Structure 1
Amino acid sequence: MSMKKPALRIGIVGGGIASVALALDLSRRSQLEVKLFESAPAFGEVGAGVSFGANAVRAIAGLGIGEPYLQTADRTPAPWDDVWFEWRRGVDAGYLSASFAPGVGQSSVHRADFLNTLASRLPNNVPVFNKRAQQVEQTGSATSVTFSDGSVYECDLLIAADGIKSSIRPHVLNSIGAEVVAPRFSATCAYRGLIDSQLLRDANRAQGVDEHLIDVPQMYLGLDAHILTFPVKQGRIINVVAFVSDRSTATPVWPSDKPWVNSADQKVMLKAFADWGDAPRILLECIASPTYWALHDLAELPGYVHGRVALIGDAAHAMLSHQGQVQGRAWRMPGCSGNLLGDSQMLDTDPAAVLKVYDEARRPRACRLQRAPPGRRENSMKCVTLW
């Protein structure tokens, strides 16, 4: 008489979009017992809109969540269906080029809306809230994570998806004999805001600015600065991010006692773009209460895995949005690990060996992308330039 093997226990630390998607995918597998630990009292995303290219949308579908994504996502309207972004000069909104993602176009969501859609599909016994990971130990075939409330969870595999400030990353790096890596300030900051699309439309009409600049996602370019716009919430809201880089020092430092996200004075934001044209100026004038984000990234890590603990997403390879498809690449990390962990033969395989395969498959690619020049995109989009 054969004995049924116990389910493989998988713990996921972090409650962002990619980790919830991974938990949702893995919880469908009968041979797995999945728990997701979030430090907050409920799921919640920081930020507003996020844009996905063609490869990312395919990865989302591969995780089995294509339908809920499409229910939430915005698309570029006809006849510009395939346009991902139009690129323009900030000084006069003069047209430079357009990037195309055939069959997808500009595909974007409000982070909180999409996270809520995914979380609503999680089994009730998967998420556990108010759990902030503090310490990890590996002994033999078991891994345990201790939380700030003193509770301990023991599992067969632990996936750290706890962001750029990961509390689990030091365990992995120390264990493989590597120097602990801290987030580093990029010298780039971003003003963010959400605008009611009708308000922006009225402002453009009043000053004779083409409404096409609202209907189609835009990227306005200037010296050490750029502004991007795209719709969220079914076109009712326009997401705006205005980036400014300071090249005055080779080793920029963000004050350790200053939050990475702060409220901003609209007058200060407008001054930073004072010599730009009407279209971007109107955008910024419509953001009454912008927020100000200090953008950080990570240096390349020599390993994402130690034993039965793995790093994914920003915990492993936090990059700047300037490098393109950062959130999209985060989807391919859960996709890769989900496919490996969800295989029916997992119970007959050394879990640590499976994570080693994940590290060997994903880390070299992610590191190459970290080294890529800003703006270089890995997805296959055509760029048409008209000068």
Structure 2
Amino acid sequence: MKKVAIIGGGISGLYIASLLRLNSNYEIIVYEKNNSVNLEKGYGIQLSVNSIKLLNKIGFQNINFKEKFFPNKVNFYSLKDKNKICDLDISAFNESEVKYTTLQRFILIDFLTNKLPSNLINFNKKVIDIQSVSKTTKVIFEDKSSIECDYLIISDGAFSKTRSLITDKEIKPKYFNSIAVRGNIDRKYLQNIDHNNISLFLGSNLHSVVYPVNHNGYFNFVTILRKDLNNEELADYSLFDSKEFISSALLEISKQVDNNIIENLIDIKCFPIFTSTEIFQPKNKNIYIIGDAFFSFPPTFAQGASQSIEVAHELYQNFENIDDQFNKERIKRTKMIDRKSRLNYFAFHLSNPLIIFVRNLLLRYLVKNNRFINSYLGKIYKN
């Protein structure tokens, strides 16, 4: 039996742990640096059909219907004139039990956690060193304990310390010159929008998204706002929790977004957006990187969670048989989604009135063009 150590108890790590448990050839254990998995009730996530199909392999379709939502469209609105631009049918790629899904993130994490026996997740395990020992890998933790494993899977997030340890240099994502402001809002405070679908508001140097996360009138709100921050500000983690910083961000957003929404947000959080600049491949053939540790995307294609699930499933399928072709295809796909995410970011944040006019005309045409939709979305949603 091969021993597999998984570093990180997030979406990707928990998902591949659930898959590997199905194979009696592997003994698995998850190591998480925090004292528990993050089940904080906060923001929502979107899962496109490419990830729903994979999650259903471990029973995701059995989650309580009321705890998730199935939007059929993305409605585009202009923040400048408050009018609807067009709508995009995202249900075109749906199947009977495989549908574009929105829900609260903690529901997914709870589902994945419950797929594992409690003794398979070890908490308060911060990795401080990685060593090669003959044909195995030795992982040393801050509490002075250590383990040896046949395979090591690194899935500890965008700021992965474990990834840096295996390269002997610090690898950091790059600040995307934007911050995200997240919150929740009750349906009764959302006026003049379609409550059954995703609303995307395009503004000058910002865009906002509002979508239902369950059938109880609970909606997620997020705004991506261009924001220049210096290194000192980025290093001050307390800055983004301060009332002053959050208030200043909300004030800036309120210049374009409906004040009725801003005034009724709850559970507001603010954080800087970091994205990957390169894809790192370990030299050791028995060490693998997945999730945000593998690559962090701009949040403008709603593919962060879906790609974390996808790359974990690909690793599971190819376990012990990771060849160059697998790596090449994953890297090619990752770069494609990254390019499209950056293009979306550019298109969503335009300021010039003439360019905005042209963009809106193009949007109205493209969202109804099946050939374009199958190319732009289909290449992502059809895994």
User: When the two structures are superposed, what TM-score results if normalisation uses the length of structure 2?
Assistant: 0.80
Aligned to 2:356: none
- 8 A Cα contact 2:298 2:341, kept in partner: no
Aligned to 1:262: 241
The structure 1 residue matched to 2:215, chosen from 227, 234, 245, is 234
**1:61-101 superposed Cα distances (whole Å, 9 cap, x missing partner):** 2x42332457575224xxxx522x21111134311122222
Deviation at 1:236, TM superposition (A): 3.2
Deviation at 1:215, TM superposition (A): 3.2
Aligned to 1:298: 276
- Whose helix proportion is higher, 1 or 2? 2
Aligned to 2:150: 156
Deviation at 1:288, TM superposition (A): 4.6
Counterpart mapping for 1:74-223 below 5 A = 74-76=68-70, 82-83=72-73, 85-102=74-91, 103=94, 106-174=100-168, 180-197=170-187, 201=188, 203-204=189-190, 209-210=191-192, 212-223=193-204
The 2-side partners of 1:288 and 1:123 are apart by 34
C-alpha change, 1:288 and 1:70, in structure 2 (3 Å) is: closer
- 8 A Cα contact 1:181 1:299, kept in partner: no
Partner SS for 1:241? strand
The 2-side partners of 1:368 and 1:91 are apart by 31
Partner SS for 1:43? coil
Partner SS for 1:114? helix
Partner SS for 2:210? strand
Aligned to 2:48: 53
Flag as ranges the 4+ runs of structure 1 deviating above 6 A. none
> Identity over the aligned pairs, expressed in percent?
18
Partner SS for 2:300? helix
* 1:219 aligned partner, one-letter code: L
- 8 A Cα contact 2:174 2:275, kept in partner: yes
**What stretches of structure 1 of length at least 5 have no aligned partner?**
1-6, 342-350
- 8 A Cα contact 1:21 1:118, kept in partner: yes
- 8 A Cα contact 1:185 1:254, kept in partner: no
C-alpha change, 1:125 and 1:293, in structure 2 (3 Å) is: same
* 1:307 aligned partner, one-letter code: K
Deviation at 1:132, TM superposition (A): 1.1
- 8 A Cα contact 1:194 1:238, kept in partner: yes
- 8 A Cα contact 2:12 2:290, kept in partner: no
Counterpart mapping for 1:283-362 below 5 A = 283-288=261-266, 290-304=268-282, 306-341=284-319, 351=320, 354=322, 358-362=326-330
C-alpha change, 1:305 and 1:100, in structure 2 (3 Å) is: farther
The 2-side partners of 1:16 and 1:33 are apart by 19
* 1:225 aligned partner, one-letter code: L
The 1-side partners of 2:335 and 2:167 are apart by 16
Between 360-369 and 219-228, report the one with greater CA deviation. 360-369
**1:36-85 superposed Cα distances (whole Å, 9 cap, x missing partner):** 11112221156510001222222322x42332457575224xxxx522x2
Partner SS for 1:42? coil
The 2-side partners of 1:159 and 1:68 are apart by 28
Q: CA RMSD in A?
A: 2.8
Does 1:271 find its partner at 2:251? yes
Deviation at 1:276, TM superposition (A): 2.3
Aligned to 1:43: 37
- 8 A Cα contact 1:317 1:370, kept in partner: no
